[in-house]
């Protein structure tokens, strides 16, 4: 299948392009800036989500779209909510319009499990009520609703992927926890921790995230139907667990500096059983030690 990957120059996008190629598909990379090099892409097309003409050129001749382009920092979205809604929601609507004009009948939308807000210390299933806690989550939920609405016309089939905390490999965002912990280990500098470090999150290896998109491409629902899957490891690790894993992997002791607790959920862990059953996907690399080891070996935290 010829698959357009929006956001192909991004952290997850590059991995999805590689995974699609490895599975025998023909990935087409949509990037924001001309001249980007995307290994394994059959073609590279430059377009912006808010440029309708560029989008219409980008979708020509593809069978499906994996939509990963957008903004993804929750705290940043609080300070600039309209920008997040413009890019993540309006940009998705523009992409859907371009797909309709080109008769592209399938989309996999990258979304976020943060839409659930909190899970009250129970793994999150797809039946959990939506309660987006910040503009980023709201913008992704609105994008989901736009995709769902478009399927009702009968010309589109869609899969929505609600991802957990993707980590591992060459992570370009030094503000995420695993790179921050490894940077502290490499530099032997203190690590700032909100509260007592007991907040639990579900960490998903980048390779497992990419393979989920391939599984979705290969298990599309019938036309006019949208399916939603929680994609995570199914296991929770606290901040202190990640620190302990980093100490095991690097052999360095990490000193903690405790800050006031942040206003954030204490527990966000996915229940991926629906994806395991319906699209034959499973997380194979999302043990926290493997995630930390792969990030360390990739060298993204080494000064």
DSSP string, 188-212: T--EEEETTS--EE-EEEHHHHHHH
Residues 84, 136, 203, 229: which is the catalytic one?
136
d(CA 12, CA 209): 8
User: What residues are paired with 44 via a beta bridge?
Assistant: 29
Active site (annotated) includes residue 203: no
As given in the structure block, the two tokens for residue 55 are: 């989008």
Q: Tell the residue number behind the tokens 């966000």, with chain if given.
A: 268
The residue assigned the tokens 């319009």 is 97
206-217 helix and 11-22 helix, angle to the nearest 10 degrees: 50
CA distance 135 to 81: 5
Q: How far is CA 150 from CA 108, 243, 244, in A?
A: 13, 44, 46
From 303, 237, 221, 222, select the one nearest 270 (Cα to Cα): 237
Distance CA(176)–CA(166), nearest Å, equals 10
**Residues known to be catalytic:** 136
């Amino acid at each position: 299948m010829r698959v357009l990957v929006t956001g192909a120059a991004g952290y997850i996008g590059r991995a999805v392009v590689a995974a699609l190629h490895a599975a025998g598909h023909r990935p087409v990379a949509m990037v924001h800036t001309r001249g980007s090099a995307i290994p394994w892409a059959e073609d590279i097309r430059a377009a912006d989500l808010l440029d309708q003409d560029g989008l219409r050129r980008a979708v020509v001749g593809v069978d499906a779209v994996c939509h990963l382009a957008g903004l993804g920092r929750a705290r940043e979205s609080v300070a600039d909510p309209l920008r997040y809604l413009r890019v993540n929601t309006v940009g998705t609507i523009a992409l859907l319009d371009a797909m309709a004009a080109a008769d592209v009948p399938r989309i996999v939308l990258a979304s976020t499990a943060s839409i659930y807000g909190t899970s009250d210390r129970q793994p999150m299933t797809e039946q959990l009520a939506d309660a987006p806690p910040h503009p980023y989550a709201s913008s992704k939920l609105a994008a989901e609703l736009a995709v769902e609405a478009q399927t009702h016309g009968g010309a589109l089939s869609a899969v929505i992927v609600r991802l957990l905390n993707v980590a591992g490999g060459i992570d370009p965002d030094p503000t995420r926890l695993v790179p921050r912990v490894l940077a502290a280990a490499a530099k032997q500098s203190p690590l700032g921790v909100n509260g007592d470090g007991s907040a639990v999150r579900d960490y998903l290896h980048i390779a497992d995230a990419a393979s989920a998109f391939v599984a979705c491409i290969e298990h599309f629902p019938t036309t006019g139907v949208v399916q939603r899957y929680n994609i995570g490891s199914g296991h929770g690790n606290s901040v202190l667990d990640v620190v302990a894993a980093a100490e095991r992997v690097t052999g360095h002791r990490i000193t903690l500096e405790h800050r006031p607790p942040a206003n954030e959920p204490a527990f966000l862990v996915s229940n991926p059983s629906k994806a395991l059953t319906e699209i034959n996907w499973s997380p194979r690399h999302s043990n926290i030690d493997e995630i930390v080891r792969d990030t360390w070996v990739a060298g993204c935290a080494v000064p």
